[in-house]
Amino acid sequence: MDPRWQTYTPYHSANDPCPVHTSKPFIIPVNQFITVQPRHLKQFAYREALRHGTLWPDLYSPYTGGDIK
């Protein structure tokens, strides 16, 4: 599993009238892992970098789509 993806479970009180919420996934931004850009990072080819939106594969975070609620 990708270490950038984490889950959390919202707090649910015994007196809360709302239904129990399940765990929700979220992604930790890449800048939390790479705070200073090291030298000699791998690079995408230029056309591939345009498709991915970044030159460096280590900074690429794919959008998988899905419902926004």
13 within domain boundaries: yes
pLDDT of residue 68: 52
How far, in Å, CA of 21 to CA of 38, rounded? 40
* pTM, full prediction: 0.50
66 within domain boundaries: no
Interval 13-60: pLDDT, tens: 888 888 777 888 888 877 777 777 788 889 999 999 999 888 888 888
Task: Find the domain containing 53 and state its range.
Answer: 5-59
Q: How confident is the model at residue 9 (pLDDT cuts 50, 70, 90)?
A: confident
pLDDT of residue 47: 95
Sequence-distant (≥ 6) Cβ neighbours of residue 28 within 8 angstroms: 4, 5, 6
14 within domain boundaries: yes
Q: Number of folded domains in the chain?
A: 1
34 within domain boundaries: yes
